[in-house]
Structure 1
């Protein structure tokens, strides 16, 4: 069924790095929900694998004294959705990953695998962009932490060099405290479908809850990689909440996204969705302010 030349079960991060350096053709496998499909279809036939699934230190969600949230790359989507830290501080991330595939995929699929695939349609990626997440990478020379926006190099390409693995995702307190958010996934089917486009808005209101103090807008499948819309974000900061503000937000978003035609949807449809979903997500994010 699966044409695999060899598989090595790493016992630690250092052990995984060592074996990835020794076998230049080896690929990392975690939950396996993506890579096993590619092997089964013949795209990675005869490959060598280094499994990191048994490294428990890469699993789970925690928060330190400074309020920085740490998410292990082996944390499953279902774990993230139901984790008390996520539900309390960044529920929008739990809502986003709860739209990945079906229950079986969410139980075994990992957020690290979702990010490392480098695909623009990853439901977790655009939300992590909006949260200004940082990526910890461990390799032969130790650890480094980079913004998630620097991690994506192009379609299906991320900044992981030979012998490096993703070991943590961080979200700082300043990037989630006082914010509410909404992620909307538009797909052709209601279940188990890749996003035609994904849109996330995270916002903070002023003390009177009448003006936009800060806002972040990110998309998936609106360009070759997940993306933010900085000009759109700046355009409504300080504005009073109104129909005019929502229209400006949607109209500006269309000028920054770069969708393409594909068999899933036309560029024209994706531009219309980018405009409409940005307004809807912003409205829903603002509505959540009424309950905090």
Structure 2
């Protein structure tokens, strides 16, 4: 059973914002793959909802802006992301990460915006969007503003949205993806339809001869309370031969992560995953970029 007090179907983004102003306690629902589960479990029982599910003309789809930025509507489903020609041609690793979320039914309903707005560290696309340095465009009663993704997460389940605000666009700037190749690894106890025990996304820009790391980005999910990048590790890997970087990246990352014990896995096991999967992710990202590894 779903204990819902009321549900308002927004007619536009502005209408949704007005509805949230009228009822500041209302919860935004899109695909519902997270919200409905929380209601069913009793965590948000008795809530009122503002649905943006039908605002597809304003909030769905992937486009390449004239300046080369990738613009993703927050109502774009995981499946829509994976099969987008724009995503495949610019940031394919994001589509690959989206294809690892849940099962086919969830990927057809769940949205990229919801994957960010739930504020959960295990969100499958979050670490890759963190690695790309996505910019999140939100709109509210005071107008629009942009939030770099490294300022988005405020704690477990908490994000930088202010009362009455909606996420209206996810932007990956051209200079954040051009020349980069990447790979995402999700470790879970099952091969499908499971929450990540650990997620790691690695992007690499290779030297002209494809033999060295020019620049590197390494982001994790479930290695801390929110998705985050290992900035010191990224600096340490710059300039190293690919083989050496693959050998050293895992140990370097251990100094920056802070996983916890949970019923899914122990902290010690997650630390082992961090060390092992970092090198694997870098090796595959470099191979995609043309390196011989």
Determine the structure 2 residue equivalent to 1:273: 273
Structure 1: runs of 5 or more not aligned: none
Determine the structure 1 residue equivalent to 2:165: 164
Aligned equivalents of 1:198, 1:65: Cα separation in 2 = 32
Aligned equivalents of 1:115, 1:151: Cα separation in 2 = 9
Q: Secondary structure at the match of 2:203?
A: strand
Aligned equivalents of 1:245, 1:73: Cα separation in 2 = 35
Aligned equivalents of 2:283, 2:50: Cα separation in 1 = 44
Determine the structure 1 residue equivalent to 2:194: 193
Q: Secondary structure at the match of 1:256?
A: coil
Determine the structure 1 residue equivalent to 2:116: 115
- Deviation string 1:15-45 (CA, Å, 9 cap, x unpaired) is 0000100012211000001111111222211
Q: Secondary structure at the match of 2:250?
A: helix
Aligned equivalents of 1:136, 1:178: Cα separation in 2 = 24
Deviation at 1:268, TM superposition (A): 0.7
Aligned equivalents of 1:41, 1:271: Cα separation in 2 = 31
Whether 1:12 aligns to 2:4 is no
- Deviation string 1:169-191 (CA, Å, 9 cap, x unpaired) is 00000010111100000001111
Q: Secondary structure at the match of 1:290?
A: coil
- Deviation string 1:137-187 (CA, Å, 9 cap, x unpaired) is 110000000101101000111011110111110000001011110000000
Q: Secondary structure at the match of 2:125?
A: helix
- Deviation string 1:213-237 (CA, Å, 9 cap, x unpaired) is 1110000000000010011011011
- Deviation string 1:93-127 (CA, Å, 9 cap, x unpaired) is 00001000000000000000110000000011000
Determine the structure 2 residue equivalent to 1:246: 246
Aligned equivalents of 2:165, 2:276: Cα separation in 1 = 39
Determine the structure 1 residue equivalent to 2:143: 142
Deviation at 1:247, TM superposition (A): 2.0
Determine the structure 1 residue equivalent to 2:264: 264
Deviation at 1:245, TM superposition (A): 2.4
Aligned equivalents of 1:191, 1:154: Cα separation in 2 = 27
Provide the TM-score with structure 1 as the length reference.
0.98
Structure 2: runs of 5 or more not aligned: none
Q: Tell me how many residue pairs correspond in the alignment.
A: 290
Q: Secondary structure at the match of 1:247?
A: helix
Whether 1:102 aligns to 2:111 is no
Superposed, which structure 2 residues align to 1:39-50 within 5 Å? 39-50=39-50
Aligned equivalents of 2:164, 2:44: Cα separation in 1 = 19
Q: Secondary structure at the match of 1:78?
A: helix
Deviation at 1:290, TM superposition (A): 2.5
Q: Secondary structure at the match of 1:123?
A: coil
Whether 1:82 aligns to 2:83 is yes
| Contact 2:213 2:245 (8 Å CA) reproduced | no
Q: CA RMSD in A?
A: 0.9
Aligned equivalents of 1:8, 1:146: Cα separation in 2 = 27
Determine the structure 2 residue equivalent to 1:38: 38
- Deviation string 1:235-272 (CA, Å, 9 cap, x unpaired) is 01111122x32222111001110111111111111111
Aligned equivalents of 2:184, 2:101: Cα separation in 1 = 12
Q: Secondary structure at the match of 1:278?
A: helix
Q: Secondary structure at the match of 2:242?
A: coil
Whether 1:285 aligns to 2:285 is yes
